[in-house]
Structure 1
Amino acid sequence: MPTLKYLAGYPADLLAQVQQLIDAGRLGETLARRYPLGHEVRSDTALFDYTMALKNRYLRNAPPLSKVCFDAKLKVLQHALGTHTRASRVQGAKLTSKREIRVASLFKEAPAEFLKMIVVHELAHLKELDHNKAFYQLCQHMEPAYGQLEFDLRLYLTHQDLQAAEACHD
Structure 2
Amino acid sequence: MLTIVLASSSPYRRELLSRFKLPFDVFSPDIDETPHMDEKAKDISFRLAREKAFKVAPHYANSLIIGSDQTAECQNQIIEKPNTHENAVKQLQFLSGKIATFYTSLCLLNTKTQQAQECVVDFEVKYKKLNHKIIESYLLKEQPYNCVGSVMSEGLGITLLEYIKGEDPTALIGLPLIRLSNMLENEGLAL
TM-score interval for Structure 1 and Structure 2 normalised by the shorter chain: 0.3 to 0.5
Between structures 1 and 2, the one with greater strand share: 2
TM norm structure 2: 0.32
Larger Rg: 1
TM norm structure 1: 0.35
Which protein has greater RCO, CA pairs closer than 8 Å, 6+ apart? 1
